[in-house]
Amino acid sequence: MIDDWFNSASYMVFLETTLSKMFENNRRIFYIHDGASYHKDGDVWYWFRENRKWVEVHNLPAYSPEFNAVEALWKYTRSEGTHNASFKSKNEVINCVTNVFQNIQSNPSLITGYLKPFC
């Protein structure tokens, strides 16, 4: 499912459907997220408090893309997919980004240099 907008409700769906599945292995999760407004929502923090047995949350400092590996992935995605491209619809954008991600999955070495600072 692709939301038109990320918000606390869609983030809660992610936490409940994806992150909570990782609790099954009985190991503690160290979870790092950035300062997106929906990460700071009261319901989200309530969820983290209720699940602190399983999840330890850490916030990235504000304006620190150099600490966020996802930013490097987006940089690659822009350079290989969306840079200087014109899209007529949201579906064209989704297809473009999906193709870039599928290429990465097929050949992870494509992003090795982008992720080297995080290893």
Residues 44-88 have pLDDT tens digits of 999 999 999 999 999 988 888 788 888 889 899 999 999 999 999
Query: Is residue 2 predicted with pLDDT exceeding 80?
Result: no
Query: Is residue 3 predicted with pLDDT exceeding 80?
Result: no
Q: Band the pLDDT of 103: cuts 50, 70, 90.
A: very high
User: Which H or E run includes 30?
Assistant: strand 29-33
| Extents of the domains making up the chain | 8-62, 67-118
Helix (H, G, I), strand (E, B) or coil at 56: strand
Distance CA 86, CA 93 (A): 9
Q: Band the pLDDT of 1: cuts 50, 70, 90.
A: very low
Displacement of CA 18 from its chain's centroid (Å):
12
Judge whether 80 and 100 are in contact, CB under 8 Å.
Answer: yes
